[in-house]
Amino acid sequence: MNFQLKRLEKGSIYVFREVRMKFRNMAILWLPGKNSTMCLYLCRKAFFGKIPFPAIYIGKGFEFQETYEFRCRLAQEWKIDFSIFPAQSNNEKFSRILGGIEERYGVDALIIAMKRDESLKWFEKDFSGGSDYILKSGDIFCVFPLVFWTEIDIWQYIEEENIPVNPLYFTKDGKRYRDIGYPDLPVQIRSNAKTISEIIEELKIRHDVNEIDRARDEEKDIIFQRLRDLGYL
């Protein structure tokens, strides 16, 4: 594993262990996409092969057959203790779903596999103050272990660690899905990528992804410097 991925991994594992000591009643949000699956993988790595708190799976009222089969297989192989929380619609505001989860399960903190730019987009102005990786929405604290990662970082780590992913990410009849997890609606893009390596190469030539990565370099360096100052890296 290269240095960049190793330090990203260390940063996320630090977040998992730190919040485990801060909150009494935690859960992890489980979505069918690559970010969420990798987040579960990092959680297992942080706690020596176990996920020490329940997972909450947001049910949209429909599932692709591939997603249903992937969820069942992963839950069995990784021994994931999960409950299904039904979303009212695909357009339901994400912070409203969080309020429903807090009310139903009584959790004080929820681990969410969103990158920083995604979390700010979907929560809009519902966030109050917090740290780089813990923000508060209403009465629930949201924890983002992937705050440091970019899309290409995530795919490279998945390839390096051989993490299973939803087969919908790979091309079929010249199209594949780029985003699968809630709250994004699954949208197909034109692609010939049949492997993770081909997905990574495809992303590298996409101008918008490269622009996002360059814009986030400075922010990532600042965050990692904070972790180094605390002695975690």
- C-alpha Rg value of the chain to the nearest Å: 17
- pTM score: 0.82
Query: For the residues 12-31, what does the mean pLDDT come to?
Result: 91
What proportion of the chain, given as a percentage, has pLDDT over 70? 74
CATH of domain 3-148: 3.40.50.620
Per-residue pLDDT at 127? 44
Region of 136 please: left (phi>0), alpha (psi -120 to 50) or beta: beta
Residue positions counted in the chain: 233
Query: For the residues 137-161, what does the mean pLDDT come to?
Result: 90
Listed range (3-7, 23-27, 62-66, 76-80) with the worst mean pLDDT? 62-66
Tell me the average pLDDT of the chain: 80
Give which of 26, 15, 18 is closest to 105, Cα–Cα. 26
Query: For the residues 137-150, what does the mean pLDDT come to?
Result: 86
| Beta pairing partners, 188 | 177
Position 232 pLDDT exceeds 50: no
User: Sorting pLDDT into bands at 50, 70 and 90, what band is 228?
Assistant: low
Cis ω on the peptide bond leading into residue 186 (within 30° of 0)?
no
Highest mean pLDDT among 30-34, 169-173, 175-179: 169-173
Contacts of 175-179 spanning 24+ positions with Cβ under 8 A: 179/33
**Where in the chain are the domains?**
3-148
Q: What does the block give as tokens for 205?
A: 């030539």
Nearest-angstrom CA–CA distance, 32 and 20: 24
For the stretch 212-222, pLDDT in tens is 444 445 445 55
For the stretch 47-62, pLDDT in tens is 999 999 999 998 766 6
User: Sorting pLDDT into bands at 50, 70 and 90, what band is 169?
Assistant: very high
Listed range (65-69, 102-106, 115-119) with the worst mean pLDDT? 115-119
Per-residue pLDDT at 200? 93
Per-residue pLDDT at 59? 76
